[in-house]
Amino acid sequence: MSSDSILVELKGGVLTLTLNRPEKLNVLDVGTRRELVSALKSLEGNHDVRCVVLASKGDVFSAGADLRHSLELTEAEARDYTMFVRSVLDYIESYPKPTIALVDGLAVGGALELLLSLDIVIATPNARFGLTELNVGLIPGGGGSQRLPRMVGIRKAKEMVFTGELISAEEALALGLVNRVVPRERLMDEATKMCQRIIAKSPNGLRLAKQSLNQSIYREMAEGLKLENSSYESVVASADAKERIRAFLEKRRAADTKGS
């Protein structure tokens, strides 16, 4: 399933997708985005996939969108392109498995917008983040103007977009843009440990919890609470939840119920 742009590995319940064009700074061109979605879709229903890790080869996580492609776009083509990018990121954001990004080096423009659609980000001290579109006369076009303020607050988002300046891994951690900062040599180990903790949970519970958490960003409180109630009702009645509750009360390991 691997391609020139994306390396795909499934091991121990962890699906690792690696951006594999370091000579091109792992630019997220149309082909790379399509291959990323194709790999995710092909394994979406695979019960062996319990956690997804997105990594990259080289010293740059990704330089973002393909600016040469942007130069060629008419207004009508730009409309189609932005809808395509939005569909990619919306799909990734709502992916039913937990997603973790590993960032070493730059993650700017469309790359940061990609990270904003993932669940968890682990970075190295070398990581740098920014929405740099205004530096080249553009504005964020992949959801950055909407997802970033919801994550770091409107004033910091305006500062980042208006100046196009980069922030460090430590500042990103303080803002909640990054979950953890670890040395480069520990990056994959940290992701593996986190995935193992996630894999121990109910797949169905994780899916519904992620759905409820995502909707908390976009819905009014009352709507979000209704969704949470509905999801909880579904989970608590499931065989998987009942087995896990019994196992906890009986101080034993839960039997595998295939996430039902």
Residues taking part in catalysis: 113, 133
Helix (H, G, I), strand (E, B) or coil at 34: helix
CA separation for the pair 46, 43 (Å, rounded): 5
Burial of 167 (0-12, 13-18, 19+ CB in 10 A): buried
Please give the angle made by the CA atoms of 89, 177 and 33, to the nearest 5 degrees.
25
DSSP β-ladder status, 99-103 and 51-56: parallel
Whether the Cβ atoms of residue 53 and residue 12 lie closer than 8 Å to each other? no
Which residues lie below 8 Å from residue 171, measured CB to CB, with a gap of 6+?
none
CA separation for the pair 73, 214 (Å, rounded): 32
Q: Residues for the chain: how many in total?
A: 260
Helix (H, G, I), strand (E, B) or coil at 139: coil
Whether the Cβ atoms of residue 45 and residue 76 lie closer than 8 Å to each other? no
CA separation for the pair 240, 259 (Å, rounded): 6
| DSSP element (H, E) containing 225 | helix 221-236
